Amino acid sequence: MIPRYTRKEMAAIWTDQHKYELWLRVELLACKAQAQLGIIPESSLNNILKNATLNIPRIAEIEEKTKHDVIAFISSIEEVVGEDSRFIHLGMTSSDVLDTALAVQMVEAGKLILVGMERLRDVLKQQAIKYKHTICIGRSHGIHAEPTTFGLKMALWYDECNRNIKRLTQAIDDAAVGMISGAVGTYEHISPEVEKYVCSELGLKPANVSTQVVQRDIHANYITALAIAATLLEKIATEIRHLQRTEVLEAEEYFSAGQKGSSAMPHKRNPISSENICGQVRLLRSYVIPALEDNALWHERDISHSSVERIVLPDATVTFDYILNRAIDVVENIVVYPDNMLRNLNVTKGLYASQKILLALINKGLKRQDAYVMVQKSAMETWSQSIPFKQTIIKNADIMQYFNESELEQFFAFDEIISKVDYIYNRLGI
């Protein structure tokens, strides 16, 4: 991912430096385990631990010739360790190092993402409480429906955020799997005790069964969990983009001092963060298919997955981490316009009360479709002639034979909405 959309905390996890450090750690832990089993002499182990160091330019130089990154890595270590280097990588295959180190990176990236997700959840909860009773119009198909509250939008996102945290936590736990089982995963040339030790030291679980690789359904699940969580960020951003439209302007992104919205038009204040989030979610979603396709490899393994995940895993985590933190900033600093919400709610001149009147007529004993026709007649008059709905109802003798004007007034109040929102919040525990 390009630096413009990368946070340094996440970028550090996917550097070549960190990758090679993890490879070396896996190799050294394996040597320690082999020494405990009496396979590597103590003096040789001490020499390996003392002298095995990284030389990344040298690794790159060797790889130019070998066309194999792990061999280049091991060869560079052999040059500084000397004769005892024969014990390094003993009984192991490349994927023992690659997949075990990759699991550590996935866990590290996942934990960083979880910190952000928990922060987003906290911010959504704060805003849900702040705007709990801020009345606004709810929309279906983009058309005014019935009143809701702005806080309830935040509460819905808060609830979904909790589900995503659970999904991501499980996916990260599933990804915390390593293997040190040798070629095709049979332990023919290395003891399972080595795998147990290495994985324990790295905070991983040994794979129950592997071929020459950890199975890629684990990685696909991880990417899919990220993609699902990203759709929440897109949902939030899409809503804010709509609410910031000039004709609506119920909420907008914070516009900082000195910020510019357009090179041509000085008046512009654009929802650029929300648009950026929506755009990058498209990219992140596209990684799900190749991640799924990585699971079906030839026989015990091939490396068709390798080139994919070298791109997909860093890019997906870097992208998600970036837009997650951008979404947190947008939600935390959102500017809300309650007066505009009430103005927009009244654009349809009270039509939001149509269902209340429909249900009240049904409660008076009318058949539903008969009552619907009666209310729709007045509603369409309001639509076509821009007459307040209350007036078209009063003019409708078929309806008014069942109500007096005092009863009619209650249909346009928000008391019921407020009480039911309280019920929803109680169920959410906020």
Question: 181 or 416: which carries more pLDDT confidence?
Answer: 181
| Section 145-174 average pLDDT | 97
Q: Which residues are within 8 A (CB) of 148 and not within 5 positions of it... i.e. 6 or more apart?
A: 135, 136, 137, 138, 417
Please pick, among 43, 68, 189, 262, the residue that the annotation labels catalytic.
262
User: In the beta sheet, which residues pair with residue 119?
Assistant: none
Percent of the chain with pLDDT over 70: 100
Question: Helices 217-243 and 272-285: crossing angle, nearest 10°?
Answer: 150
Q: What is the pLDDT of residues 43-99, one digit of tens each?
A: 999 999 999 999 999 999 999 999 999 999 999 999 999 999 999 999 999 999 999
What would the two tokens of residue 415 be? 């008391």
User: 297: closest CA among 107, 72, 95?
Assistant: 95
Band of residue 416 on the pLDDT scale cut at 50, 70, 90: confident
| Section 271-297 average pLDDT | 93
Task: Tell me the backbone φ, ψ of residue 264, rounded to 5 degrees.
Answer: -105, -35
Q: Decide: helix, strand or coil at residue 261.
A: coil
Query: What are the angstrom distances between the C-alpha of 349 and each of 128, 343, 379, 397, 407?
Result: 27, 10, 10, 20, 18
Please pick, among 141, 256, 299, 386, the residue that the annotation labels catalytic.
141
Q: Decide: helix, strand or coil at residue 216.
A: coil
Least confident of 4-13, 214-223, 302-311, 330-339: 302-311
Report d(CA 251, CA 257) in Å as an integer: 18
Band of residue 359 on the pLDDT scale cut at 50, 70, 90: very high
Please say if the pLDDT value at position 429 is more than 90: yes
pLDDT of residue 37: 97
Beta strand 143-149 with 135-140 is antiparallel
Q: What is the pLDDT of residues 195-243, one digit of tens each?
A: 999 999 999 999 999 888 999 999 999 999 999 999 999 999 999 999 9
Mean per-residue pLDDT over the chain, rounded: 95
User: 285: closest CA among 323, 257, 341, 338?
Assistant: 323
pLDDT of residue 97: 97
Q: Dihedral sign for Cα 103, 91, 297, 17, please.
A: positive
Q: Domains of the chain (ranges plus CATH)?
A: 3-87 (1.10.275.10), 94-343 (1.20.200.10), 351-411 (1.10.40.30)
Tell me how crowded residue 369 is: count the other CB atoms within 10 A of its CB.
Answer: 8
Which string of b and e fits 163-174 if b means at least 16 CB within 10 Å? Answer: ebbebbeebbeb
Total residues belonging to the chain:
430
DSSP state of 422: H
pLDDT of residue 372: 96
pLDDT of residue 406: 86
pLDDT of residue 147: 95
Cα 175-180-186 angle, rounded to 5 deg: 110
What would the two tokens of residue 76 be? 């560079």
Per the annotation, the verdict on 262 as an active-site residue is yes
Q: Decide: helix, strand or coil at residue 210.
A: coil
Q: Are 345 and 135 in contact (CB under 8 A)?
A: yes
Percent of the chain with pLDDT over 90: 87
DSSP state of 88: T
Please say if the pLDDT value at position 258 is more than 90: no
Band of residue 256 on the pLDDT scale cut at 50, 70, 90: confident
Beta strand 251-252 with 335-336 is antiparallel
Please say if the pLDDT value at position 307 is more than 90: no
pLDDT of residue 382: 96
pLDDT of residue 263: 78
User: 429: closest CA among 167, 159, 116?
Assistant: 159
